[in-house]
C-alpha cells in the first residue's frame, strides 16, 4: 500500500555542517512516535515524549538541487525542487508517481471479473475504485511511511518535507487521517453501489490499511525484514487493487487470490529495487533490507530472479490451463524486461534504478493485464 513501486531514489549532494545541525535539530522535534487513543466522544492523536538523544544521526552533507524540477516535486521523486506551498508539499508526501500501479491493478481486476462493461455506470465505479486505491489509500500509505521514516530520511534525504521541517508534525498527522478515512469511506460507498451483501471492498480497504500501518510502524514494522516487508509491499501494489476491482464487478475466487499472491513475489523483486538507494540509512537504523543483509551484488540477483521466475511460473500456469496464446504473449513481455535488467539494473542498481523501472515496468504491468484477460475467459 510502495512502483511497481516507490521509485523515489536518494540523491547525494555536498553540504556543510549547517545542514547537519539543522537536520539533527529537526529530527529531535520529529522523533516522537505517534500515540493513538480512541474514546466514545473523540479521537486523540498525540506525540509521546522521547529521549531526544535516542536518535542523533550523523547526517552527511546532502541538499536538494537548487535547479530541481517542480514536476518531480509534485510526483514525489528525486530531483525535486524545494517548495514552500503547503498543498504542493502535501501532494509530494503522497508520491503520485506510486499511484499508477494501484490504478492498473483495479483495471486488471475489472478485466479478470469478465463482467465490466463500457457504460457510464461501470466506468464511474472504476474511477471511484481507482481514487480509493491510488490517491487516498496509497497516499495514506506513503505519508505514513514518510512519517515513520523521518529519522532514516534525516540520514539519506534530510531535505525531504518532514525532516527538513517544511511541513509540521500536526499537518502530517492530519493528512494521514484524512486520506485514510476518505479511502475507507469510498470503499463503503462502492459496496453499497455494487449491492454487496457482504462489504468486501470495505474489508479489503481496512486490511490493506492495517497492512500499511504494520509495514511502517513499530512494534512490528515489517519493513525491518527485507523478505516479509517487500512481499507485503508487493501484495499491496498487485494483489489488493486487483482483488478490489474484481470484487467490485464480479466474484473474487480462491484461484485468483493464489495467482495474484504469486504475482506479488514479482512485486517483492520490484520493491528491492528501491532498497539500494537507502542502504546507508537502513544500516544505521538496523533495518535488514536485502541489500544490507546480503550485499548489493547478491541482492540484485535476488531482485531480478524474483521478478523473472514469478512471471515464467505464471506463463507456465497459463500454458497448463490450456491458454497457450496468453502464455506466449506473457513470455514476449518478459523478454524485454530481461534485456533492461542486464542493460541497466545489473550494471548499477543505484545509478540506473529509475531508468530501469521506467524501461522495464511497462512490460510487467502489461503482463498483468494479459494474465487478467486470460483468467476472465
Per residue of the chain (377 residues), give pLDDT as tens. 444 334 433 333 334 444 444 444 444 434 444 444 434 334 344 433 334 333 343 434 445 545 567 766 666 666 667 778 889 899 999 999 889 989 999 999 999 999 999 999 999 999 999 999 999 999 999 999 999 999 888 887 888 899 989 999 999 999 999 999 999 999 999 999 999 999 999 999 999 999 999 999 999 999 889 999 999 999 999 999 999 999 999 999 999 999 999 999 999 999 999 899 888 888 888 888 999 999 999 999 999 999 999 999 999 999 999 999 999 999 999 999 999 999 999 999 999 988 999 999 999 999 999 999 999 96
Q: Which residues pair with 34 in a beta bridge?
A: 47
Query: ω before 219 within 30° of 0 (cis)?
Result: yes
Would the CA dihedral through 189, 194, 199, 202 be positive or negative? negative
User: For position 45, what pLDDT does the model report?
Assistant: 40
C-alpha 205/C-alpha 281 separation (Å) is 31
8 Å CB contact between 246 and 109: yes
pTM to 2 decimal places:
0.78
8 Å CB contact between 268 and 305: no
Of 357, 146, 139, 133, the closest CA to residue 267 belongs to 357
Nine-digit cell string for 374: 486470460
- Helical ranges in the chain per DSSP H: 17-30, 70-75, 86-94, 99-113, 120-131, 139-148, 150-156, 161-164, 169-194, 200-216, 226-234, 240-249, 254-273, 279-285, 290-294, 296-320, 324-340, 353-376
C-alpha 293/C-alpha 94 separation (Å) is 29
Amino acid at each position: 500500500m510502495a512502483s511497481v513501486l516507490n521509485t523515489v531514489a536518494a540523491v547525494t549532494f555536498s553540504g556543510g555542517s549547517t545542514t547537519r545541525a539543522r537536520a539533527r535539530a529537526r529530527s529531535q522535534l520529529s522523533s516522537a512516535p505517534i500515540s493513538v487513543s480512541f474514546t466514545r466522544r473523540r479521537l486523540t492523536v498525540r506525540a509521546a515524549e522521547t529521549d531526544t538523544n535516542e536518535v542523533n544521526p550523523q547526517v552527511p552533507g546532502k541538499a536538494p538541487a537548487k535547479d530541481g524540477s517542480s514536476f518531480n516535486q509534485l510526483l514525489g521523486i528525486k530531483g525535486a525542487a524545494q517548495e514552500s506551498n503547503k498543498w504542493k508539499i502535501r501532494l509530494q508526501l503522497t508520491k503520485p508517481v506510486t499511484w499508477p500501479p494501484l490504478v492498473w491493478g483495479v483495471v486488471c481486476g475489472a478485466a479478470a471479473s469478465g463482467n465490466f462493461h463500457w457504460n457510464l455506470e461501470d466506468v464511474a465505479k472504476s474511477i471511484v475504485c481507482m481514487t480509493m486505491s491510488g490517491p487516498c489509500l496509497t497516499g495514506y500509505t506513503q505519508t505514513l511511511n514518510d512519517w515513520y521514516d523521518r529519522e532514516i530520511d534525516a540520514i539519506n534525504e534530510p531535505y525531504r518535507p518532514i525532516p527538513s521541517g517544511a511541513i509540521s508534525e500536526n499537518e502530517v498527522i492530519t493528512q494521514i487521517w484524512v486520506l485514510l478515512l476518505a479511502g475507507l469511506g469510498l470503499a463503503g460507498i462502492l459496496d453499497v453501489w455494487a449491492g454487496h451483501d457482504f462489504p468486501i471492498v470495505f474489508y479489503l480497504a481496512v486490511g490493506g490499511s492495517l497492512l500499511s500501518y504494520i509495514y511502517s510502524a513499530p512494534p512490528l514494522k515489517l519493513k525491518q525484514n527485507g523478505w516479509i516487508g517487500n512481499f507485503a509491499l508487493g501484495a499491496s501494489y498487485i494483489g489488493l487493487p486487483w482483488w478490489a476491482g474484481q470484487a467490485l464487478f464480479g466474484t473474487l475466487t480462491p484461484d485468483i487470490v493464489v495467482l495474484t499472491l504469486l504475482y506479488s513475489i514479482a512485486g517483492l523483486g520490484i520493491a528491492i529495487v528501491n532498497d539500494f538507494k537507502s542502504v546507508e540509512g537502513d544500516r544505521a537504523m538496523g533495518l535488514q533490507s536485502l541489500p544490507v543483509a546480503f550485499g548489493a551484488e547478491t541482492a540484485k540477483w535476488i531482485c531480478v530472479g524474483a521478478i523473472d521466475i514469478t512471471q515464467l511460473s505464471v506463463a507456465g500456469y497459463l500454458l497448463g490451463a490450456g491458454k497457450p496464446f496468453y502464455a506466449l504473449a506473457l513470455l514476449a513481455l518478459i523478454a524485454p524486461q530481461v534485456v533492461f535488467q542486464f542493460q541497466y539494473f545489473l550494471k548499477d542498481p543505484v545509478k540506473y534504478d529509475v531508468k530501469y523501472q521506467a524501461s522495464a515496468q511497462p512490460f510487467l504491468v502489461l503482463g498483468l493485464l494479459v494474465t487478467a484477460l486470460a483468467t476472465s475467459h
